[in-house]
Amino acid sequence: MENKAEKIKPYDRDADKKGQIEKMFDNIAGKYDFLNHVLTLGIDKGWRKNLIKMMASQKPNLVLDVATGTGDLAILAAKTVPGLHVKGLDLSQGMLEVGRDKILKNNLQDRVTMIHGDSENLPFDDNAFDAITVAFGVRNFENLGKGLKEMNRVLKPNGNLYILEFSRPKNFLFRKGFNLYFKYILPFIGKVTSKDPKAYKYLFESVQAFPAYEDFLNILENAGFKSNNYKIQSLGICSIYSGKK
């Protein structure tokens, strides 16, 4: 299954994607949390909570949050699951800096750490983590297959992967209505607020190109995951994909 989203890039179609993604998130890091919660009307918190509930049911001790950004998922996971240790990894130093401040404010520095790195070349040993989480990250990878195989490598046998990603509503009328907001209103607010006119246009385009539902399950299987499944969130705006090593 081809992933057309690998060809969707924020600034320059002919330059490498990874460098552009790093630059884009460095640009918008200061406004990222605000825009996230405003543009989703706060619904994103519910999606993250649902993922954490699924993950917590497997009683992990050590979790890797790939593409952690400003650490929302990592911090919420540590606050929800007593004793849980979370390592958050991201390409963008700007996003990680915002995340580190939030970890200190929540007094979680003993349990949540932020690491600068690339998900396609993870700086961890094989079989290191009980679970891996990714929220709105995989769509941005330059090489999705490579990133997923790396996650498989660092997961313990029988360890669980949970991915929250936009998936495009299945209902035709809802999709049309939602896309009006997603294609026109959201990029406008994003452009005015974040001062990066390309970032929120990229968001819409990359979501349209990214494989969803069964297509994404096939990609998980090709990367070595088994028992793959998905749970639709908010009529299909997002889905939570799960798989096992």
**Which chain residues interact with ligand SAM by CB under 6 A?**
18, 21, 25, 36, 67-69, 72-73, 89-92, 95, 118-120, 135-137, 140-141
Closest residue to ligand SAM in the complex (CB): 69
Q: Would you say 97 or 118 has its CB closer to ligand SAM?
A: 118
CB of 172 to ligand SAM, least distance (A): 27
CB of 157 to ligand SAM, least distance (A): 24
CB of 223 to ligand SAM, least distance (A): 15
**DSSP line for the chain:** ---GGGG--SS-TTS-HHHHHHHHHHHHHHHHHHHHHHHTTTHHHHHHHHHHHHHHTT--SEEEEET-TT-HHHHHHHHHSTT-EEEEEES-HHHHHHHHHHHHHTT-TTTEEEEE--TTS-SS-TT-EEEEEEES-GGG-SSHHHHHHHHHHHEEEEEEEEEEEE---SSHHHHHHHHHIIIIIHHHHHHHHHS-TTHHHHHHHHHHHS--THHHHHHHHHTT-EEEEEEEEGGGTEEEEEEE-
Q: Would you say 15 or 158 has its CB closer to ligand SAM?
A: 15
CB of 236 to ligand SAM, least distance (A): 18
CB of 105 to ligand SAM, least distance (A): 17
**Phi, psi (degrees; rounded to nearest 5) at 161:** -110, 135
Q: Would you say 140 or 228 has its CB closer to ligand SAM?
A: 140
Q: Would you say 5 or 135 has its CB closer to ligand SAM?
A: 135
Query: 89-120 in b/e burial notation, b at 16+ Cβ within 10 A?
Result: bbbbebbbebbbebbeeeebeebbbbeebbbb
Q: Would you say 10 or 137 has its CB closer to ligand SAM?
A: 137
Q: Would you say 36 or 179 has its CB closer to ligand SAM?
A: 36
CB of 99 to ligand SAM, least distance (A): 9
